[in-house]
Copies of this chain bind each other. A is one copy, B any other.
Amino acid sequence: MKNRPEIVIVGGGFGGISAAKALRKTNCNITLVDKRNHHLFQPLLYQVATAALSPGDIAVPIRAIFGDDKNVRTVLGEVVSIDKTNKRIHISDDSSIDFDYLILAPGAIYNYFGNERWKSHAPGLKTLKNALSVRERILISLEEADKLDDPQDRKKYLTYAVIGAGPTGVEMAGAIAEIAKRNMMRDFRNIEIEETEIFLIEAAENVLNGYPEDLSNKAKSDLEEMGVKVLLNNPVKSIREDGVELENSFIETPNIIWAAGVKASPLLGSLDCNLDKMGRAFVEEYLNIPDHDSIFVIGDAAHVKDEDGQPLPALAPVALQQGKYLAKLIKKRESGKKTSSFKYVDKGTMATIGRAKAVADIRGLKFSGFLAWMLWSVIHIFFLIGFRNRFRVFAEWMWHYLTFKRGVRLITNEPDGSQTDSDDS
């Protein structure tokens, strides 16, 4: 009789977590590997970046999710290569894990289009570290502005440049516009709210390029009504420490956020299979890579064609459905049952349409956009943690939503070159 099947899942995002959850009470051993110790609700990262939420509000330790599941093992580690022949993954600490089935859900990272040196000036918004870095810049800029009496000197500190007008960029620009309205701004005596200037910079010809045109147009006009200056057809020429260089102008600011393009995790490079121009792996009908029936790729790292031959979008519900599908597939395989191809069902959920909708309904209703996202994530984490904690998490989230806790406006890093108590790290 065969041993318990070993299923290795790489990535603790929506895809990896949903696959692991669906395999919880089965007769297999699951090892979930992630280079971070937490599952992150990425759609709300921009709220951490604008000091409206704490990291702890949008992240859950992966171990906590599977605390009660005896057949799920969590490993903190970075996968560096995949040995398809021997069915083994290698981790950066030189250990390796053998598998019967491998589910790769490593997600995506920001694409700087070859200009990696821009990264230090313009963080993306994919990780908690990103978000905290952006938060720090914003808070320090406000502090610097507050020290200066001449509005001309203050200008750059109160200028923000968000690069990329996809959903993330649009949300971030909107969230920054909202900072100006928060009580927090009253605490900065020298700053006039009207001095704030927010640029949303996009190389293509519209905001939310690729979405239905009426949605794109509405998002643009709503952002403009909030005071955001939307610059279209404006590819970035260069990003420097002191600002953003466009074709015909230079925006002086230390507050630059990159939301301009994603590419799939470079881990896929070790799979030796075809990748699309965003680095995503082309997968077959069972979400498996070609010529291998037990290695799968899902989520933002996978190029899965829908019925029209178009790749499925990089959205959470896609990854969630794929994770659940694979769990079913594996169960069927193990019990010799008939399997079927993956088929994405677009339920028109709040998350799929909701993000664009939330974005579109900005005027006076951004609030409900935020509410929609908060509910989405509350529900998501709610069902993630387990019954025992549900009440607590739910109440906590509702409380935070209602009270916009101020405690997160913290600059926790030490000032550079401080003469005292300068911690290394």
Contact = CB atoms under 8 A, between A and B. Distances in A.
Interface of A: 35-38, 54-57, 59-61, 63-64, 66-67, 73-78, 80, 92-93, 95, 106, 109-110, 119-120, 123-124, 126-130, 132-133, 139-140, 143-144, 146-147, 183-184, 186-189, 265-267, 389, 392, 395-396, 399, 403, 405-415, 417-421, 423-425
B425 A123 contact: yes
Contact of A405 (B56, B266, B405): B56
A141 to B, nearest CB: 11
* Those 6 A-B pairs whose CB atoms lie nearest each other, nearest first: A56-B407, A63-B187, A120-B424, A76-B143, A109-B421, A128-B412
B59 A109 contact: no
Contacts of A418: 35, 78
Contacts of A395: 399
A123 B422 CA distance: 10
A278 to B, nearest CB: 14
B187 A38 contact: no
Contacts of A424: 119-120
A188 B423 contact: no
A196 to B, nearest CB: 17
A389 B406 contact: yes
26 contacts: A36-B414, A38-B409, A55-B410, A56-B405, A56-B410, A57-B407, A59-B410, A61-B187, A61-B407, A63-B188, A64-B187, A64-B409, A66-B187, A75-B143, A75-B147, A76-B144, A78-B418, A92-B415, A109-B421, A119-B424, A126-B421, A127-B421, A133-B425, A265-B420, A395-B399, A399-B399
